């Protein structure tokens, strides 16, 4: 239902910046609160950030708050995740997702009902 991908392409190294985008087929993304998760090899899916339907509220995992920015552009029907100062520890598959009703900002993957296919971010040192 959701499609997420990196923008710009190219190699990703520690210290680089990267922007991920999320788009949806069918219902407009503006209808949904949205979130980003990531899953590193061998680990559970981890909450990263969330944004409200109109972009007025954002919420971040403590571990990424200083480097990650979630945003949305209603005119383009897109949600973004900007990652600055990439670290090798950021290596993961990143997913956009929409939470269930009244679940904005939830850090539990079980509270999200729609998921993108994920895009792999590999950060070399």
Predicted local distance difference test score (pLDDT) of residue 6: 76
Burial of 6 (0-12, 13-18, 19+ CB in 10 A): middle
> Is pLDDT of 119 > 70?
yes
Burial of 112 (0-12, 13-18, 19+ CB in 10 A): buried
Query: 7-60, pLDDT tens digit by residue?
Result: 755 579 999 999 999 988 777 888 899 999 999 999 999 999 999 999 999 999
Alpha helices in the chain, H assignment, sequence order: none
Query: 105-116, pLDDT tens digit by residue?
Result: 999 999 999 999
CA torsion angle 87 96 4 27 (round to 10):
-160
Predicted local distance difference test score (pLDDT) of residue 2: 84
Predicted local distance difference test score (pLDDT) of residue 9: 53
Predicted local distance difference test score (pLDDT) of residue 27: 73
Query: C-alpha angle 69/41/39, rounded to 5°?
Result: 30
Spatial separation of the C-alpha atoms in residues 89 and 100, rounded to whole Å: 29
Query: 71-106, pLDDT tens digit by residue?
Result: 999 888 899 999 999 999 999 999 999 999 889 999
């Amino acid at each position: 239902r959701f499609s997420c991908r990196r923008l710009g392409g190219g190699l990703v190294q520690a210290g680089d910046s990267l922007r991920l985008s999320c788009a949806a087929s069918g219902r407009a993304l503006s209808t949904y609160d949205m979130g980003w998760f990531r899953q590193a090899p061998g680990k559970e899916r981890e909450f990263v950030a969330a944004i409200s339907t109109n972009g007025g509220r954002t919420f971040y995992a403590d571990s990424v708050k200083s480097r990650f920015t979630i945003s949305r552009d209603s005119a383009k029907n897109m949600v973004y995740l900007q990652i600055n100062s990439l670290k090798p520890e950021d290596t993961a598959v990143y997913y956009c997702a929409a939470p269930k009703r009244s679940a904005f900002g939830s850090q539990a993957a079980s509270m999200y009902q729609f998921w993108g296919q994920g895009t792999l971010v590999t950060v070399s040192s």
